[in-house]
Amino acid sequence: MSKNSFGAKSSLEVSGKSYEIFDITKLAQANSLPFSLKVLLENLLRTEDGANITAKQIEALASWNP
């Protein structure tokens, strides 16, 4: 279960079914990331548990600069 430190967890309803999503736009600096890193960032948000994946690691990826 995700800790949701960034408030990125929300739900999306499609055809009467509800899906859990993690919105990377909650991290403002994520907008400038390449698509491949956005995919990795979303994965980190989904799996953040505070032990294996921490908020500090998520922030580090979100603020990546080439």
- Span 7-22, pLDDT tens digits: 999 999 999 999 999 9
Residue with tokens 């989904």: 46
Separation of alpha carbons 47 and 7, rounded Å:
14
The contacts of residue 28 (CB under 8 Å, 6+ apart) are none
Separation of alpha carbons 14 and 28, rounded Å:
26
Q: Residue 4 has which token pair? A: 């949701």
The contacts of residue 63 (CB under 8 Å, 6+ apart) are 29
For the residues 41-53, what does the mean pLDDT come to? Answer: 95
Separation of alpha carbons 25 and 12, rounded Å:
15
For the residues 41-51, what does the mean pLDDT come to? Answer: 95
Q: What are the extents of the domains in the chain?
A: 9-62
